[in-house]
Structure 1
């Protein structure tokens, strides 16, 4: 990718974000402006803004990388991300808007009349927000590193600075315009190059290899392995090696490798002939079934228990969307419950259209960028394909467009997350400072994940987002569904469910990120906790609430009526 064009594209996106965000200084004046844009955002604008902040680094880069590496069963990610809004539409969108709250902790306190529930909900909002911010910063570091060769932390720092300026300038009102603009930019940035890439693929002489059982190099290729890795070679391989492989040092000569597992030292350069099979990266012993077809669902080497992992992904993405802090707060900006429902329907169409595109990049990456499987840098597939298929000025321009779109993805999602976390910090952690010091909360909201980004740099962005969904599904999904649809929910029940469901998922996520068990059921249960943590959250809330029936808040009936009756009906006087 041409660095000059790429840097120019990213600069334009950054400058546009800052300028649009700066408009908030002129139009944001009140508390309501900062938190919910005075509840005046129309459905179409709000839907574009929601889609802009929801389509994150996992959507723009991560899904294509996972499809490249693991095959079609990774399409559960976009299916789950989209279907989550259908669940939200059916059960949550309109009642959540009618609650009159600013944030999820506001809803928890108003529904259950409990400061304890609010405090726990606030802690979980901050935890989910920070967890979700990490992959945005990692994706930004990856993109800027490809453009300039800079260290990965620099891209995350740049996003943090830009987001702080945009959010602190005008709060929710200005961020709404920023994110709506960025949705259309991201869609264009993926769609236009995809058209040219598919045309180039159709004009190629050997495009059918994408569905083979193993990826192979279509032309002579040199791959530099930055970090020490273990690889598995399934067929005898002839290649050139400059570096260390199998404990032996080589100086650029030809090497014949038999079937087996080899350790490749960091900094080693491997030269593969055309047609050579790409060695498989591995972190553990060989497992039966890992040579199954890349295109066959539920049979990849991604997990020892792929069916369980798939259900874990479904539970997390289907049920986690409603509890994401940057998604929930958006429905408070609609004028009424009917507008919230219309917004959700439009969102389903917008993100559905977007998710048709990343799998195209994943399949083409299998053909034209198989070296990413060896280096483990599969999230870069979207960014490198224009140079591989088209090249020249056209490839440079398309690559620059993709780089700009990728940065828009990081900025829009990071803006929404920072906005939601800052709102909770302002109200619940720094209550004495008020809205005048919202900007201080904004700095704190983005500073913590920025600092953590340097320590967590090798988790695929889609996986990291999936972990955030698991925590959300295990905590806020039970709270919202039961709080909206069951009058018997009590404050002790909500507290117990949030602590057990959300706490268990958060613990599993933390162990996974820092490096827990590498294999076996222990690894699978921790890496995909939603299958067991979501039922734990629901069951605990129900059982404890039934055991504390006398603690149902006195105003529950009035609260339930406010959640479920249309605004016009509630404001109309009753006939005698």
Structure 2
């Protein structure tokens, strides 16, 4: 009960601070540009912290450690890809995107290629990516609350949704900028402090709770242990074992002592296992079951190699296509500040990812039961109390829980703002009240899907969002910024081809998970196929429809690449939503700067 009280206190403190910071940030938010791009006035250092706070989601705070625990060295590609993507974004996208003067990705597409139809297609994919990314945040919030207190999982997602919607309703981008910047530093402390303390405890030894690794590399339980699966899971049993089971195994109800031979077993939800000391630890299907294979990369042959390179494509290229990340670069004053922001983000993320990686390694020794239940995302939450079953462990656990909720809140805030901004400006008239209605609708859809859809590893679900972004907006942005030959027809065909294949693979993977896991690896990690398909489709179709190229493409590209002091930037949010005085100032400032395509 004391442990629950400490953890609940940490969560409540984060929730209250988030609400108060959102209130402070929203006091002067009263126009559409305030809600969409925070008046383009966010300094690069604060924006970098805000982007990092928004980007470090459930996949980063919980999922990375869980994947390292389960998959070993192969899982390191996740933090590497999540961070390295900002290098490509800084080099190829950040500054030209800001100079375009757009305020959403669909707006950039129309500004560059002059097609309202393309804008609608982009709107569809922004909503898909945003919702696909938002669902695991809410599900992980439920997992966190359930793990630390035993309260129903749906409550965590509902709390996060309520706080985020209230903050975004108050001031949109302006309200959440201060929240996200503060939450980056809060999350860094919440992951760094426990890592230093727990790793010191681990090195100091002796660690009576650590599991033993035998001469064959198998993990073995050092004491009798009882644990329960929360969801259906398939496990590999590395050798024969006796255990007590109460639940469903391979579709049959079991209650009592059983003998399991080496092989695969399917466990139903709420199945309780009681295992004796000295028993080899089973692992979820597909994970390495020996320490040697856990430490060596590429143990699955050609399919494993394909998945790794596909993951690299998805994370490295997907970053520059994530709507909730790109919308933050619109808030910089100019292109130079946007590029400087991306540089700051690189070292902020690189610093953060050291810590969940270390916790994942340590968790393998202390939380082997998670390898059986598949609930590896809970490793960071459970490790403090497992290694330090005293008041110190309870306090560290509360700090970690608070950091996890900060991750859900900051990422969910950015996702809701990006989706609501697109819905309000492309589907609704675009006024402040439309933004607020879109915020409520986005939150309602996201929490509904989070409650209905099965929960998977947060990093794996988020990686699918990256694959969708890499296969749609990444090629459109790279070609639209650096190739004058792109046409709106080519862009639409590429978006539909790349995005459609990713969505089809996601549907295939979900169906396969319920019908025998028959889907090939390309379905779970499709980016290595879908990204080249999208690029090639855009190029080939654009060459075949070269007459659809915008007449003023040279002036548009000049605006994207000209140095900022030349003053070619024209902010389209002011042109569409600004007051009469703001529009007059914009026209006077840029009179004679060349043709400018107004919004329809």
TM-score when scaled to structure 1? 0.93
SS of match in other structure, 2:6 = helix
**1:504-515 pair list within 5 angstroms:** 504-515=501-512
- Secondary structure of the residue aligned to 1:294 is helix
Residue equivalent to 1:51: 52
Match runs of 1:434-473 below 5 Å:
434-473=431-470
Number of the residue aligned with 1:404:
402
Q: For residue 296 of structure 2, what is the aligned residue in structure 1?
A: 296
Cα gap change, 1:317 to 1:210, in 2 (>3 Å):
farther
**Structure 2 residues without counterparts, runs of 5 or longer:** 569-589, 594-600
SS at match of 1:305: helix
Q: Residue 27 in 1 paired to residue 28 in 2?
A: yes
Residue aligning to 2:280: 277
How far residue 273 of structure 1 moved from its aligned partner, in angstroms, is: 2.9
Q: Which residue of structure 2 aligns with residue 429 of structure 1?
A: 427
Residue equivalent to 2:62: 61
* Other-structure match for 1:524: 521
Equivalent residues of 2:221, 2:277 under 8 A apart: yes
1:529-548 CA distance string (max 9 Å, x none): 11111111100110011001
- Residue deviations 1:120-142 (CA, integer Å, cap 9, x gap): 01111011000000110011000
Contact 2:324-2:418 within 8 A present in 1 as well:
yes
**Helix, strand or coil for the counterpart of 1:271?**
strand
Secondary structure in 1 matching 2:220: coil
SS of structure 2 residue aligned to 1:334: coil
1:328-359 deviations in Å (ceiling 9; x for gaps): 10111101111111101100000000000111
Aligned-pair distance for 1:215?
Answer: 2.9
Match of 1:216 among 213, 220, 223: 220
Write the distance in 2 (CA, Å) between the matches of 1:119 and 1:95.
Answer: 22
Structure 1 residues 348 and 236: CA distance shift in structure 2, 3 A: same
RMSD value, Cα: 2.3
Assess if the C-alpha contact under 8 Å between 1:218 and 1:367 holds in 2: no
Spell out structure 1 runs of 4+ moving beyond 6 A.
none
Q: Is the 8 A contact 1:24 1:170 kept in 2?
A: yes
| 1:445 positional shift | 1.4
Q: Hey, what does 1:380 align to over in structure 2?
A: 378
Q: CA deviation at 1:227?
A: 4.5
CA change 1:24–1:294 in 2 (3 A) is: same
Q: How far apart, CA to CA, are the structure 2 residues paired with 1:434 and 1:382?
A: 42
Relative distance call for 1:38 and 1:295 in structure 2 (3 A) is: same
**1:290 to partner: Cα distance:** 6.7
Partner residue in 1 for 2:37: 36
**Deviation readout 1:131-189 (Å, 9 max, x if unpaired):** 00011001100011112222222211111111000111011112100000110010000
Deviation, structure 1 residue 519: 4.6
Residues 1:304 and 1:235: Cα distance change in structure 2 (over 3 Å): farther
Instruction: Describe how 1:129-148 pairs up with structure 2 within 5 A.
Output: 129-148=130-149
- The equivalent of 1:357 in structure 2 is 355
Tell whether the 8 Å contact from 1:139 to 1:461 is kept in structure 2 after alignment: yes
**Kept after mapping to 1: 8 A contact 2:218/2:289:** no
Contact 1:459 1:513 in 2 (8 A): no
Q: Deviations over 1:290-328 (max 9, x none)?
A: 76611111116xx98111110110010010001101111
Note closer, same or farther for the CA distance 1:537–1:210 as it changes in structure 2 (3 Å cut). farther
Give the CA deviation at 1:263: 4.8
SS in structure 2 of the partner of residue 23 of structure 1: helix
Q: Secondary structure at the match of 2:281?
A: coil
Maintained 8 Å contact 1:60/1:406 = yes
- Structure 1 residue 237 and structure 2 residue 241: aligned? yes
Equivalent residue, structure 1, for 2:499:
502
2:530 is equivalent to residue 533 of structure 1: yes
- What is the DSSP-based 3-state SS (H/G/I as helix, E as strand, rest coil) of the residue aligned with 2:453? coil
| 1:78-227 to 2 correspondences below 5 Å | 78-205=79-206, 213-227=217-231
**Kept after mapping to 2: 8 A contact 1:213/1:294:** no
Change (3 A) 1:107 1:249: closer
2:597 maps to none
Q: Deviations over 1:422-465 (max 9, x none)?
A: 0000001112x622331111011121121011122321110110
Superposed counterparts of 1:64-79, under 5 Å: 64-79=65-80
CA contact (8 A) 1:117 1:494 kept: yes
TM-score by length of 2: 0.89
* Cα distance in 2 between the residues matched to 1:463 and 1:264: 21
SS in 1 for 2:206: coil
Q: Is the 8 A contact 1:210 1:363 kept in 2?
A: no
Q: Name which of structure 1's ranges 564-573 and 539-548 shifts more when overlaid on structure 2.
A: 564-573
Match of 2:333 in 1: 335
- Structure 1 pair 275–171 and aligned structure 2 pair: CA distance change class (3 A): same
Equivalent residues of 2:315, 2:466 under 8 A apart: yes
Q: Is the 8 A contact 1:280 1:374 kept in 2?
A: yes
Kindly state the Cα deviation for residue 271 of structure 1 after the two structures are TM-superposed.
Answer: 2.5
SS of residue in 2 equivalent to 1:128: helix
1:15-44 alpha-carbon deviations (Å, 9 max, x no partner): 111111112331112222111111111110
Relative to 1, partners in 2 of residues 1:504 and 1:248: Cα closer, same or farther, differing over 3 Å? closer
Q: Is the 8 A contact 2:211 2:222 kept in 1?
A: no
Once residues 186 and 119 of structure 2 are traced to their aligned partners in structure 1, the CA distance between those partners, rounded to angstroms, is: 37
- Bigger shift: residues 21-30 or 327-336: 21-30
